[in-house]
Structure 1
Amino acid sequence: MKIKPAEDGYRFSRVMYILEAALEYFISIAVGTVYLARLTAYIGFSDALTGILTSFVSLGCGFQLIAVFLANKRPVKRWVTALHILSQTLFAFIYLVPLFEISKVAKTVLFVAVLLVAHIVHNAIYSPKTNWFMSLVADDRRGRFTANKEIVSLIGGMAFSYALGALIDHFEAAGDLRTAFVICGVGLVALMVFHSLTLVLSKEKPAEEGEKISTKQTLKELFKNKTLFKIMLVSVLWNVANYATISFTGTYQAKELAFTAAFSSIVIMAGSLVRAVFSRPIGAIGDKFSFAKMLTLCFILEAVAYTVNIFTAPSNGKVLYIVHYVLYCIGLAGANSAPINLVYDYVERSQRTGALALQQTLAGFAGFFATLLLSPLVTYIQQNGNRFLGLDVYAQQVMSAISLIIVLVILVYLNTVIKKLKRLPRADENN
């Protein structure tokens, strides 16, 4: 007999997961591309260094392999909550670093160190936390559930981003960014408290027989799983494509395109709105057909988005960048959650925490080192008077061209390799 989701005793915990994801998203906005660029500009970082710092999100993912060694520490609730408090406190702290009366070199070292440790800790617990909550969701509802989760995060994120942008613009106009940074830091601490409550109030499903296996056995089975490595390549390539462009977006908006923080917030809101609108329809495609087919649609949209961004320049930036970002966000409605759902479609239950960790580890390092390798090219183009291969072009336009090529490769791979893989039967298909 199939148990209805409302009757399984975990409905409240699923609601808490939706709220937890929203609060975590708010914090990620505050330490992400646009607002991170404001902090680094205040300290005096170069565009290349800011790009590398932006890709710390990806580098942090590279430390998710730690989760393989933590997978058997069940229940995960207590230590996941404690480490989340630590990482989010560190995120709040970076807003205070620019205010310290120390040398620029010391500020740089402290800022980089705190941000990196925060991302490492955050990502070390990502896979166990994701598996904790996703195990509470029925297989035939994963697409729609993750869509609902994104919708709440995005709508809330729109309001949060606009408020944050207006706050920073207000104090910047008054020549008092220091006060804005203090308010932001205190606000992130408050978000951390509410986020912690969602974890504390949630239940954790007991580990099933066969889920707890030794770390050695887990690693052995993971590295023997050829299907896992085939689906991981999608995440690796997407992270390279994504970070090739997004790592340098914050500085491009603030400098070449001359966007104010408030206007950048409006752009983010527009993207969040369309992503929220399209999340459920795209999620339903994954539930009804497959997440591989859903990804094909999403990456077609991403290809178009990067094509538009290739032609985005200061003369047309306020129009074309919005078009690019809206298309990019519609694609993200599935591209962000599908890699997780691919693991649940093709990997056995006992390997999922390790599989998620290994997938995010490889994808994370790929995204970071792609940014690291591309940063000198960005610097070269800028120092060469925004010329490349004899063309007048901005560095970020070249990065978008690189992202486009990689996304086209992903589309070919999805339709020649992934579509041939045999999906595991879902729980509802066994009833």
Structure 2
Amino acid sequence: MHKKAFVFVFFLTLVALTYATNFDHFVYYVDLDTMYESNDPYIKTLGSLLKRWETGLSKYVENLDVSTLVLPPDDELTLNILQNISPYAYIDPAEKFETALEVFPDSVVINSLFLFFNFQYWQNSRDPAAARIIFEYTQKIENLVGEPTPLTVYVRSQVLFKSNIYGDPEKAYNDLKEIYFKYDHDKKIIETLVEFSFLLNDTEMIEELYNTYLRIGGNNPETLFFFSKMFYQLGREEESVKLANLAIENSKSAILNSQVYEFLGDIEENYERKIDFYRKSLNSDKENGRLMSKIGMAYYNWDNKENSELARYFLNAAESRGYITEDSQTALKELRRNVVLNILFKYVIPIILAVILALWLLSYFSKKRKQKESEWIYKD
């Protein structure tokens, strides 16, 4: 009996392997760069076409040779769709793969790419209908494959973590941790796990994630910035500053650079360097009232007499942009009061005293003149 059961299971496994196509391994990848750099010609082909779609750059497909690939019908259809989609578009590809499912309803790769492009749509729209499709097709793909995969868990976790309707951040985090322990080679999985860890204020895995990320050559500036902030929370300031600077080196985003410089300003104790970081941050976000307030308060706390004009300038600018805190309001009131007192003592009081003196002198000489006139009259 046991022997028959074993033979039956072996037969099912053989059938599954026979009908599993080369492109089906797409479900075990999330990071497109890893796919593009793969030694597997089938995964590299998908990676090349999806990188062209993601970036709009033709360099990813310039040397692509698909003539040697042995493709079953659903893989051929997949290749044809990917070769003819426009960069950045996600609605049209999703519709094309949905149509392909009418022909190949149980194709792992076609279901996976239908899921992939629906996820792109959800990321840009937060459409609840797209979220429902994501839940349905992640489950369908896992049933077809026989297990959760990096792609299905990643996509579902993103929706669970960030959806206002279906949100369940703890489940998203735990599911992603589980898949990470099975597939720790994917940069996207690690980058998302780091983001979730930071947002949930959970630093338990930070050391392991950091070491793994370095090992696989991760250099995403946003991820490095998350690491930087978490290391600072753990009291490892030197590593935190190093990672923040590394994030800036790898970043092409003015917005991210502004955030990193602001963070460096927040943790810097030397006021001169603190102000320098805040000013660099402001260069990338010139109308940011919060940054203006921080610069103003740094000048104020550094030396509110020597730097009073600069402190008042930035705090006034912050207030005019609708940003005011209790501390900055108190400082601004004091600085304005000092201006009034300065004007009073420097200009108003001296003028008043001068007028009083002039009036006194006028009165004095007027009396003297009248006294002399009286003396002349009596002499006459």
For the aligned pair, the TM-score class normalised by the smaller chain equals under 0.3
| Largest Rg, 1 or 2 | 2
TM-score under structure 1 normalisation? Answer: 0.21
